Amino acid sequence: MRVRLLTAASIFLIFIQAMAGANIDSAYNAKKQLVGFNLDEKGLNNEERQALHFLYAYAPLCDVTDYSQDFYIANVRQTLLTREQMPWGKTIPSGIFMHFVLPLRVNNEPLDSARLVFYKQLKDRVKGLSMKDAILEVNHWCHEHVTYQPSDSRTSSPLQSVKTATGRCGEESTLTVAALRAVGIPARQVYTPRWAHTDDNHAWVEAWADGKWWFMGACEPEAVLNLGWFNAPASRALLMHTRVFGDYDGPEETVLKTSNYTEVNLVGNYAETAKIQFTIVDTQGKPVPNARVEFKIYNYAEFYTAVTKWADAAGRVSLTAGKGDMLVWASRDGQYGWTKATFGKDTALTVKIARHTALPRSIDIVPPPEHPVLPDVPAALTARNKQRLEQEDAMRNAYTATFITPDKAQAYPEEQRPYLVKSRGNHQVILDFLNKYSGQQERALKLLSTLTDKDLRDVTMQVLDDNMTARSNQLSPRVEAEPLRPFKHFFEQKFAAEATRYKANPQLLVEWIKKNIRLNPDTKALRYAQSATGVYNYRIADERSRDIFFVDVARSLGIDARKDAVTGKVQYRNSGSNSWIDVKWDKTGQAKATPQGTLVLDYTPIPLHDDLSYYIHFTISKMTGGRMVLQNYDENNCTWASTFKNGAQLDTGTYVLVTGSRMASGTVLATVREFKIEAGHTTTVPLTMRQATGDQVAVIGNFDSESRFNRVDSKSCTIASTPVSLLSCTGRGYYVLGIVGMGQEPSNHALRDIAKVEIGRPVVLLLEDEAAVRKFNASDFNLPAEGITYGVDPDHKILNALKSELKLASDQMPVFVIADTFNRIVYYRQGYTINMGEELRTILGKLK
């Protein structure tokens, strides 16, 4: 039964008061009034009631609208039972337990019953261990079940990751935190929103034992704690955070408090730091209170907002960060200003905001220096850990061997094979679905074609049935990166009386939503996607969930609708029309198509860069309300030549083009250029990439350090049958990769040159095939016995990847590159050049 609902303004005031007073009961009561729910607390003891109130008090909307009270009670009771049964349970302070054991949510994953499942599997495994040893043991268990594989931005739940046996770092860390909490060990996910010295980001885990936080790579167990492949890059990070569920008042620096979480700064645990005080002023020099201040790290060719803070009444805000450069962007009421901040050099900076502020044409961004701290690890422990990892790999591989491989897929119709292979541990669901609708294969396959690879790995039969048997031919259940849940039959029934009118005029559905769905007035609250049915049942949403709700309802009624992937705009098409209409939530009346103009980027190709890639070399952001909003083009298909050379359509407005040339040192030579798009006109903008000067070594390409080859024993010339990755042989950092042709003079000269010098970094030498291996003898070239790994490039996959990336025009050997395990190429040479060994050593010397 629902309780009486308050107005948005009064609810928001209660939230603010609850946060200020750090009062769980106040926050809980405010959440009840905001969402409109009543819990049946009969049968709960006082401890269970307090835990349940805490979870609901700080829950994002989706956790209230989409999960039952029984789900929470089962997890609360299991958590309290675990505290009683685990030997460390009563040694954990109540505040640490409440914030780092009790919460079910780690990040933005869908909630599941992992706590109940993992406890049964882990309780005996950690029996009798100390907390530190139990942390290591849990991580070994995680490695048995999941290994790293990159994927899209949607985060799988812990049980979904186990089912598919893979996960990106955010999913591995979510799994590991969930597993540690399942046995009562406090744990939190730590993430650097973006690396400062290279593109990409990373997430790992901190666990609490004996009064102290320790870190480790999730699903990447080392022999000891406080050790991972990321020790060195973490020492170069600008920012590292964790989101703590609830109103947390710990010893760490608080970055932000919201109605759901407290964000704390952990960069000081890994890197040398410094603090800067910022003052935000207007054109008259007066403080601007409550200005939005975004701290931006250059990464993926954009200035990415890594953390957001709000200025106090005096216009002041401060931040502690690693000792490098950031762009600091302040805005309020459509006005904005910026400054470059160098942590470790600057101590106080002023940012002036105005209606229009000139942007820099060129800006150099320097990351923090590297100062890793590495624990001492006895060799015996390292050897034992390596042996365990191999055993765990074998256990996981035995499970994945039950998946449908390309060879096994030959037993099924050709059109089904890609879906069965991609579905991994979820293949039985996909197979059952295809068999269930064997008489409607065209529709069934069309539905599967709308799903991402990750969707295929965790979609349920309920979701597939719902979309397959719905009346609508809008088959896709996906709007953006939200969890998939059934909704089409639900909305067919709920909007049966209005379906014909809404389909004839989709704007009527927009107006219904404006009238009936309340928006959460707390704009700083988490915006994790609610289910569309949850939005309908509780009649409340944030902007993101409202947008998804509109598209889901529209598609259920047979209306063309989408959330544009590039701009994030919600759009629909009138029946029989090819024009997309933007939904204007803040305007009344019939919506119209947004006027557009054409953007042409003028670029002159140079060697190695005959084309430029979006996110690697450049990005475009739209100025909206004084902020830069990235245009999210498809990273796999968007380049200068494919999209902007001959002109791309953009909405009218002001935009910012950012380009960046990354140096091997991590420094970026960036350019920033502002331009306007006018309706019906073509705007031509220069696309320029700044070049390295002096002793700078530029990043010239990308190459996957996980590429695999077959090792060769240089003494016996035997070839291993199991492929290994480059990364596993080189360790982290820079390495030299050479592909040589045996019996060819250029390759012979190059090998002799390399033998004359001490390269100082790992070297991998790959031969063409088995015949070349039989010809090879390392002693013929006086190659050193240590520091070189020999192998065979199967099917020339590595050579072909280098040829494609570096635009190599022939098969001339040798090919040498210097690359690193962040997938960056900083040097290449095809064919022999005099003193090649010395050239390699010189380049590597500059990289130090």
Specify the 3-state DSSP secondary structure of 236.
coil
φ and ψ of 539, to 5 deg: 55, 35
Query: How do 788-792 and 292-299 pair as beta strands?
Result: unpaired
For 202-246, list the strands marked E by DSSP. 202-209, 212-216, 241-245
As a dihedral over the C-alpha atoms of residue 15, residue 19, residue 23, residue 29, rounded to 10 degrees, the angle is 10
Q: List, for residues 500-513, the tens digit of each pLDDT value.
A: 999 999 999 999 99
Which pLDDT band holds residue 6 (cuts at 50, 70, 90)?
A: very low
Q: List, for residues 182-235, the tens digit of each pLDDT value.
A: 999 999 999 999 999 989 899 999 999 999 999 999 999 999 999 998 998 999
Both tokens of 151, joined, read 């994927």
Which pLDDT band holds residue 848 (cuts at 50, 70, 90)?
A: low
Closest by Cα among 636, 639, 630, 582 to 605: 639
If one counts every other C-beta atom within 10 angstroms of the C-beta of residue 402, the result is 12
Whether residue 251 has pLDDT greater than 70: yes
User: In angstroms, rounded to a whole number, what is the distance separating the alpha carbons of residues 412 and 553?
Assistant: 35
Q: Are 174 and 163 in contact (CB under 8 A)?
A: no
pLDDT given at position 19: 39
Query: How do 581-582 and 596-602 pair as beta strands?
Result: unpaired
Q: List, for residues 748-796, the tens digit of each pLDDT value.
A: 888 988 898 888 899 999 998 888 888 888 888 888 878 899 999 888 9
Which pLDDT band holds residue 9 (cuts at 50, 70, 90)?
A: very low
Report, as an integer, the average pLDDT of 824-829.
92
Q: How does the average pLDDT of the chain come out, rounded?
A: 93
Q: Are 682 and 597 in contact (CB under 8 A)?
A: yes
For residue 604, what are the contacts with CB-CB under 8 A and spacing of at least 6? none
User: In angstroms, rounded to a whole number, what is the distance separating the alpha carbons of residues 301 and 672?
Assistant: 11
Domains recognised in the chain with CATH numbers: 1-38 (no CATH), 39-265 (3.10.620), 408-582 (no CATH), 596-686 (2.60.40), 701-847 (3.40.30.10)
Residue at 525: amino acid letter: A
428-442, 476-490, 690-704, range with the lowest pLDDT = 690-704
Q: List, for residues 585-602, the tens digit of each pLDDT value.
A: 988 766 778 899 999 999
H or E element: which one contains 330?
Answer: strand 325-332
Burial 419-453 (b: 16+ CB within 10 A, else e): bbbbbbbbbebbbebbeebeeeeeebbebbeebee
pLDDT given at position 845: 86
* DSSP letter string, 560-594: EEEE-TTT--EEEE-TT--PPEEP-TT--S---PP
Specify the 3-state DSSP secondary structure of 643.
helix
Residue at 787: amino acid letter: G
Whether residue 13 has pLDDT greater than 80: no
pLDDT given at position 795: 85
Q: What angle do CA 272, 275, 278 make, to 5 degrees?
A: 150
pLDDT given at position 318: 97
Match 């999941």 to its residue by tokens.
146
Specify the 3-state DSSP secondary structure of 471.
coil
User: In angstroms, rounded to a whole number, what is the distance separating the alpha carbons of residues 521 and 664?
Assistant: 46
* DSSP letter string, 409-461: GGGS-GGGHHHHHHTGGGHHHHHHHHHHTGGGHHHHHHHHHTS-HHHHHH--H
Both tokens of 392, joined, read 């765990």
117-121, 326-330, 635-639, 652-656, range with the lowest pLDDT = 635-639
User: In angstroms, rounded to a whole number, what is the distance separating the alpha carbons of residues 512 and 519?
Assistant: 14
User: In angstroms, rounded to a whole number, what is the distance separating the alpha carbons of residues 27 and 843?
Assistant: 58
pLDDT given at position 786: 85
H or E element: which one contains 142?
Answer: helix 131-145
φ and ψ of 760, to 5 deg: 85, -5
Q: List, for residues 63-78, the tens digit of each pLDDT value.
A: 999 999 999 999 999 9
Burial 467-477 (b: 16+ CB within 10 A, else e): bbebebebbeb
Q: List, for residues 305-314, the tens digit of each pLDDT value.
A: 999 999 999 9
Prior bond of 814 cis (ω within 30°): yes
Q: How many residues does the chain have?
A: 848
Whether residue 800 has pLDDT greater than 60: yes
User: In angstroms, rounded to a whole number, what is the distance separating the alpha carbons of residues 677 and 660?
Assistant: 22
Closest by Cα among 315, 332, 314, 323 to 276: 323
pLDDT given at position 12: 37
Whether residue 238 has pLDDT greater than 90: yes
Closest by Cα among 628, 600, 629, 806 to 687: 600
User: In angstroms, rounded to a whole number, what is the distance separating the alpha carbons of residues 830 and 732?
Assistant: 25
Q: Are 664 and 697 in contact (CB under 8 A)?
A: yes
Report, as an integer, the average pLDDT of 128-148.
97
User: In angstroms, rounded to a whole number, what is the distance separating the alpha carbons of residues 352 and 279?
Assistant: 8
Q: List, for residues 170-186, the tens digit of each pLDDT value.
A: 999 999 999 999 999 99
Which pLDDT band holds residue 2 (cuts at 50, 70, 90)?
A: very low
Both tokens of 647, joined, read 């002109």
